[in-house]
Structure 1
Amino acid sequence: MVKQIGKGRYGEVWMGKWRGERVAVKVFFTTEEDSWFRETEIYQTFLMRHDNILGFIAADIKGTGSWTQLYLITDYHENGSLYDYLKSNTLDVNAVLKLAYTSVSGLCHLHTEIHGTQGKPAIAHRDLKSKNVLVKKNGTCCIADLGLAVKFNSGTNEVDIPPNLRVGTKRYMPPEVLDESLNRTYFQSFIMADMYSFGLIVWEMTRRCSSGGMVEDYQLPYYDLVPTDPSYEDMRKVVCFKKQRPAFANRWGSDECLRQIGKVMSECWAHNPASRLSALRVKKTLAKMLDSQDIKPSHSDT
């Protein structure tokens, strides 16, 4: 273990060295064993490997009788999370499209069931936010933090929900989670909840995109509508009752590309889950926009 690089409610993240390479080591508190187990199980799902999902290396439990440490070892990305990256970088349109396209590609892979003798179940993330998306050296993203993920077994039509009670991050919760109307037996409802959170992440990216010499400072979604550490009540008032959503900067309207991205995020965070765009739909739309910018997503990004 070389140095601590992050801390969350589940434990700490360290940068470590393994066989001469840098790796990220997530150390879970013993109280978070369910999250460790869930995340390990999801990463080890067959056909889970994807360029835009954080690369899993190993999981381990170390300890003596009274003292235990739960490790999850993954690829290391020095840019850190999208949240850190956006705070310290301004972007051009191509960079935003690349970040958004690769994030949704990872999400799309997660959401998709792959049929076959050793297929992959459809998986919903349930805690999507800019702190759980990492930025690689080449400006593409990968999705991390799968400790709350839900799997769908289409054979038995069962939704496999992890036992831990932690349900995600209030600020990014869709209206149906905040008002507790989400149907937990219908897997698709978890997929649509992810898409709402994804819309908010795209809004965070777009604020940091300069156009006409202007750019907004980095802010979390709803920064101007709720306190720093909002309660369920704060979020419910804004999202469910007033049906407010993050505001668009005026300048987005005068840039064709930002206007289109704005349309995508609005259709992701629609109040009615059934009218939200799917990850595949968003992926196709962004791929088309990248093409029109004359930037083909390189082979490794697709």
Structure 2
Amino acid sequence: MNTYELQELEVATDNFSTSRIVGKGSHGCVYRGVLKDGRPVAIKKQSSELPKLQDNTKLANEARILSTLHPNSYILNLLGISQDTFGNKIIVTEYMQNGTLHEILHVSTTPPPWQKRVEMALQIAKGLCFLHELNPSIVHRDIKSANILFDNNWDARVADFGLAVRLNDELNLPAGTMGYIDPNYTTPGKLSTKIDVFSYGVVLLELISGRKAIDVIRSPASIVEWAIPLIEHGPVMDVCDGRVPLPRYMGGVIKKLLRLATRCLSLKESIRPSMSEIVTNIENAIEQPIRYDHISINFIRHVIVEIMRRRKSKFDGTNGVNEEQDRGSSLGNNKVCKGTLPVREVLADLTLK
């Protein structure tokens, strides 16, 4: 881990210009910076007002937690630290250029497709699984859509470790964000990884429904109170985000994720799955459609060969078994690979013969 001089970070952010702010929170601001080697970074620094209030614990805690972690593809990784003129921590992390899950779901005019949502759910789960399987486990305590960031490949990263604690840390007062926090987490003694599992369940509902965790203009305002009765008593698909049509082949996967969300949100901690179990469940849910698509492609290729043979026979009076057939077979395969031959055309041709 690097230690940066304050002057270097001031140059990287145009002296922490307001034009470089990409995020704000109770701890202060996040600035986009460019280091002298040309690398873009995110620099988290406390607001100038906070030192007066002596509220400098979140950034110090985030630096403490992140500095002990090995780089991981599913969390926001720490690059280095510095300190301001008050002696408060400044942290430098990877720069996530594609914003937050909250922005993607609730601000963007182009909501993500269903396959991407499932991929996001799996990546977030893997990030939490990484934290929970450490020894001792790290409990994030503030999992929410605003704390899920996206890198240049649109891969999800768990971010903002200001409230994170290790299970062997001195007991802390309960903390979190309204709408996401586990209702059972009422005393320090209730700290466990199942707190993050509950919050993950809320994010999962948010991903599938496109609805905010708390939306005061709706009734009920809580996404959990609204969605759970629909999942348990139907109609289940009314939970799905109506802005994006749900492909038929994705319906089964989404239903499994919704059932998984209900387990995560159970008031009985013993019913909630571990994050490793969640990862396995999601991977199993998406495995069957992938196998089905593979079988379908092979079947369509076989059908195309037969169609090309029949067309050849129809126009030249042969049985179509010659060099032209081989070229036709190659053409058919290429069309499938490039997606230029619609399935309905293949099936219609086969039906009419």
CA 1:81–1:166 in structure 2 vs 1: closer, same or farther (change >3 Å)? farther
User: How far off its partner does 1:36 sit?
Assistant: 1.2
Match of 1:219 in 2: 211
Counting only pairs closer than 5 Å after superposition, residues 113-128 of structure 1 correspond to structure 2 as 113=134, 120-128=135-143
Find the counterpart in structure 2 of residue 136 from structure 1: 151
Quote the Cα distance in structure 1 between the aligned partners of 2:82 and 2:227: 41
Contact between 1:14 and 1:26, CA under 8 Å: does it hold in 2? yes
Give, in angstroms, the shift of residue 166 of structure 1. 7.6
Residue in structure 2 matching 1:160, options 146, 170, 175: 170
Which residue identity does 1:203 align to in structure 2? L
Flag the 1:37–1:251 CA change in 2: closer, same or farther, 3 A.
closer
Q: Which residue of 1 aligns with 2:194?
A: 192
Aligned residue identity for 1:151: R
Partner of 2:97: 78
Aligned match for 2:178, one of 151, 167, 170? 170
CA deviations 1:78-122 (Å, max 9, x no partner) are 111111122313222220111010101000010113xxxxxx421
Task: Give per-residue Cα distances to partners, 1:36-80, cap 9 Å, x unaligned.
Answer: 1111010011x43211010111111121xxx55531110001111
Shift of 1:147: 1.1
The amino acid across from 2:264 in the alignment is: C
Over the residues paired in the alignment, what is the CA RMSD in angstroms? Answer: 2.5
Is residue 2:70 matched to residue 1:48?
yes
The counterpart of 1:94, out of the listed 103, 115, 127, is 115
Answering whether residue 238 of structure 2 is matched by residue 250 of structure 1, we say: yes
Superposition TM-score, scaled by structure 2 size: 0.64
Of residues 31, 35, 40, the one that matches 1:14 is 31
Cα pair 1:124 1:149 within 8 Å, conserved: yes
SS, match of residue 122 in structure 2: helix
Shift of 1:288: 1.7
Q: Deviations along 1:202-236, whole A, 9 cap, x unmatched?
A: 111112xxxxxxxxxx4311422477xxxxxxx8x
Q: Give 1:276 shift.
A: 0.8
Instruction: Report the AA paired with residue 238 of structure 2.
Output: N
How far apart, in 2, do the equivalents of 1:95 and 1:50 lie?
Answer: 20
Task: Tell me the matched-pair count.
Answer: 249
Q: Describe the SS at the equivalent of 1:126.
A: coil
SS at match of 1:176: coil
Give me the whole-angstrom Cα distance separating, in 2, the residues matched to 1:261 and 1:138: 24
Distance change (3 Å), C-alpha of 1:272 and 1:15: same
Equivalent AA in structure 2 for residue 246 of structure 1: A
Question: Which residue in 2 is equivalent to 1:263?
Answer: 259
TM-score by length of 1: 0.75
Distance, in Å, in 2 between the alignment partners of 1:75 and 1:259 is 35
Partner of 2:129: 108
Q: Secondary structure at the match of 2:179?
A: helix
- 1:291 pairs, out of 287, 291, 313, with 287
| C-alpha contact 2:42 2:93 (8 A) present in aligned 1 | yes
Q: Deviations over 1:173-208 (max 9, x none)?
A: 11113xx2x4x336xx4211111110110111112x
Structure 2 residue identity aligned to 1:261: L
Greater fraction of residues in strand: 1
* Structure with greater helix share of residues: 2
State the alpha-carbon separation in 2 of the partners of residues 245 and 160 from structure 1.
36
2:277 partner amino acid:
R
Given residue 16 of structure 1, which amino acid in structure 2 is its aligned partner? G
Alpha-carbon separation, structure 1, partners of 2:165 and 2:171 = 5
Q: What is the identity, as a one-letter code, of the residue corresponding to 1:150?
A: V
> Secondary structure at the residue paired with 1:127?
coil
Structure 2, gaps ≥5 residues long: 1-12, 15-19, 231-236, 241-245, 292-353
In structure 2, the partner of 1:300 is none
Alignment partners' CA distance in 2, 1:251 and 1:221: 13
> 1:219/1:68 Cα in 2 relative to 1: closer, same or farther (>3 Å)?
farther
One-letter amino acid matched to 2:103: D
**What CA distance in whole angstroms lies between the structure 2 residues aligned with 1:166 and 1:273?**
16
Please say if 1:280 is aligned against 2:272: no
Percent of residue pairs identical: 24
Name the CA distance, whole Å, in 2 between partners of 1:9 and 1:185.
25
* Letter paired with 1:196: F
SS of residue paired to 1:96: helix
- Compared CA separation, residues 25 and 161, structure 1 to 2 (3 A): farther
AA aligned to 2:74 is: N
> SS in structure 2 opposite 1:294?
helix
C-alpha separation in 2, matches of 1:161 and 1:275? 24
Whichever of the two has the greater Rg, that structure is: 2
**Aligned AA (1:110):** L
Structure 1: any 5+ residue segments left out of the alignment?
114-119, 154-158, 208-217, 228-234, 296-302
